[in-house]
Amino acid sequence: MERIFVRAKIHRATVTDANLNYKGSIAICPLLLEYAGILPFEFVHVNNLANGQHWETYAIKGKPGEITLHGPPARLFAPGDKVVVNCLANLKADDIPDFQHRVVYVDDANRLLQYEDHKIFEA
């Protein structure tokens, strides 16, 4: 049996652009991708704090400070909206005790403030 966990979260990032005329994805600041451990083309869930919308897509490397929704979500996300980006992991029971969840915190310009790792089972 496997269970699904949120392995990484970019918390309260600010949407910098929404571009309808693109095939689809979310462009994320390279530094935030690195700290969150999200790879280009990895599947992510994007939640809009302004209107409750949820979108699933893949991440691509953006420019420094960038959070841009491309394609259809451009109708659901607008510059200035705060979003939470979650990346999931399927874990087998043996992997769960060592699993760590990473939260990346950013300021209003999507600059890294800090990050935290959380274990499911604290010692």
DSSP string, 49-102: TTT--EEEEEEEE--TT-EEEESGGGGT--TT-EEEEEEEEEEEGGGGGG-EEE
Tell me, yes or no, if 35 is annotated catalytic: no
Tell me, yes or no, if 22 is annotated catalytic: no
Residue 88: Cβ within 10 Å count: 15
User: Which residue is catalytic, options 22, 25, 35, 115?
Assistant: 25
Residue positions annotated with a catalytic role: 25, 58
